Amino acid sequence: MGPNVAVLVAMIIPALLIFYFAKRWFTLKEKRVEAEARIAAEASGRHVAHYGQLEQRLATLERIVTDGPLRLSNEIDALAIAHRTAPQKDLA
């Protein structure tokens, strides 16, 4: 066991340490990417729900605008009644 073993040990130990820390670093990066993907998916779901509500409101407005004057008056009255009877959100 001469100098060859010492050189071999001196090369293997740092290589193992580098491998260990690189593996930990990549594992942490992978967890971070997964968390960011989960957050993006949740935000996307909220945007899709909001987009659906906007589509419904736009369809109602288009129907009101393209209908005759009497029907327009009835739609506005129905919306006003629905607004008055809907529970009010507390803004505080």
Domain annotation covers residue 90: no
Most confident option among 2-6, 57-61, 67-71, 84-88? 57-61
Q: How many domains does the chain have?
A: 1
Q: Does 47 reside within a domain?
A: yes
**How far apart are the C-alpha atoms of 7 and 22, rounded to whole Å?**
23
Residue 57 CB-half CA count within 13 A: 6
Residue range 7-21: average pLDDT? 90
H or E segment and range at residue 31: helix 3-66
Q: How far is CA 35 from CA 16, 29, 41, 57, 87, in A?
A: 29, 10, 10, 34, 37
Structural domain contains residue 75: yes
What is the mean predicted confidence (pLDDT) over 27-42? Answer: 95
Using CA atoms, how far apart are residues 19 and 7, in angstroms rounded to an integer?
19
Range of the domain at 37: 3-84
89 is a domain residue: no
